[in-house]
A and B are shown apart, each in its own frame.
Chain A
Amino acid sequence: MPDHRSPAAVASVERRVDAIQAVLHERGMQPAEFIASAERLVEEAWVPQNGARIVARAWTDPAFRTRLLANGKAAVAELGLELPRHHRHLVALENTAGVHNVICCTLCSCTAFTIIGLPPDWYKDLEYRARVVRESRTVLAEMGLLLPADTEIRVWDTTADTRYMVLPLRPADTDGWPEERLAALVTQDAMIGVALL
């Protein structure tokens, strides 16, 4: 580790986490209790199935789709879903036959995590952040998504506190399917925009 002032070997990352947790405990901040409640949130509440429900509803209910595209935060509240206070705006980006949307955060890792789930590792990696804004078609192809040459690609860089989700194209041959069955088709990758359904 490049800290030339300190000859001491850097402590393992687990020991460093233990140290900061011990400090917060000592200051009365009750970190152990918060870690337990946060674990439940990330495992059970902030899951891609939330976004999948939104997508399935938008596919089956044109009035909801209109409301979702007009004001994402208000529309998802109809399904009992919410965003953190500092995510003041949710924008649903609708894929069409000629337009494909993909989201990223080049500066860090921002996502609508309460809606589409916490971002996967690769979304936060240097490679995706550096390349997807500049080499979108190449990166998508490398990830297995080959788009027609005349498809317009729109990349959305989450550099402010507006959050995005992609509304994927409904797969063919799903006419008449109930919402629950449609929702089961929707993946986090499709709501990021690196996969089709």
Chain B
Amino acid sequence: MDGIHDLGGRQGFGPVRHSPTAQAFHAPWEKRVNALYSLAVRLGVFNMDEYRHGVERMEPRHYLSASYYERSLTSLATLCVEKGICTREELEALAEGGFPLALASAPGRSNEPARELFAPGDRVRARSEHVPGHVRMPAYIRGKVGVVVSESPAYPFPDAHAHGVAAADEPTYDVRFASADLWPNAADAAFVHVGVFQSYLERAP
């Protein structure tokens, strides 16, 4: 989905709030959330792709205003409700207040039937597709041409794995794009390497 989470290349953001002593956690509840979602993954309540999509499906104003671990919490709770572990009413009664959840999911999809194998050096184009469900192709490479740098082992296909759709595992390719091709005349000179699933790619001339 072309969701609010797909931030690469969005403009208007200010300086990175960086500190050389930055921490991963700022409050004890954040560590609890981080543990609880990984417990649910470990117990098979949901998988990592379902978890990521649970974050992406948050209402955009909620997504942007929530801290990182509030987003984790929202996905965890949403999936527990959707998987029948509990109800939203039960969570709200226990929390003694509102418990905002992510919005409903659109359908997933299986592998691209015409997908093909690539080798380092091949020129490839990110297919110009708009996928309603979970997808791991950042929008900033849509329709853009890059060069395959390397291949990674086969992984579950996220567009299917996040939705309980059957699919074959497929390799991902590290594809190198020139920033000038991604954002002509509007980017610092660099190569941007993206891990791209096979189904998202087609051969480019």
Q: A23: which B residues are within 8 A, CB to CB?
A: 80, 85-86, 90-91, 94
- A10 in contact with B99 given A35-B35, A161-B172 (CB within 8 Å): yes
A: number of interface residues (CB 8 Å) = 77
Which chain B positions have C-beta within 8 A of A9? 97-98
The answer to the question of A106 belonging to the interface, with a C-beta cut-off of 8 Å to chain B, is yes
Cross-chain contact B52 with A133 (CB below 8 angstroms): no
Using Cβ atoms and an 8 Å threshold, which residues of chain A touch B181? none
Tell me if B36 and A35 are in contact (CB < 8 A). yes
- Chain A residues whose CB sits within 8 angstroms of the CB of B91 once the complex forms: 16, 19-20, 23
Contacts of B65 in A (CB 8 A): 1
Interface size class on chain B is: 35 or more
Residues of A within 8 A of B167 (CB): none
B153 CB to nearest A CB, Å: 5
> Across the interface, do A157 and B76 meet the contact criterion of CB distance under 8 Å?
no
Contacts of A155 in B (CB 8 A): 179, 190-193
Q: Is A22 positioned at the interface, with any CB of B under 8 Å from its CB? A: yes
Q: Are the C-beta atoms of B38 and A135 separated by less than 8 Å? A: no
Q: Mark B9-27, 1 if CB is under 8 A from A, else 0.
A: 1110111111110111110
Residues of chain A lying within 8 A (CB to CB) of residue B203: none
Please report A residues at the B interface, Cβ cutoff 8 Å: 1-3, 6, 8-24, 27, 29, 31, 34-35, 38-39, 42, 86, 88-89, 91, 106-109, 117-122, 124-139, 142-144, 152-162, 187, 189, 194-195
Leading 10 A-B pairs by shortest Cβ distance? A11-B97, A160-B195, A106-B8, A38-B35, A120-B22, A11-B95, A19-B94, A118-B24, A160-B172, A19-B95
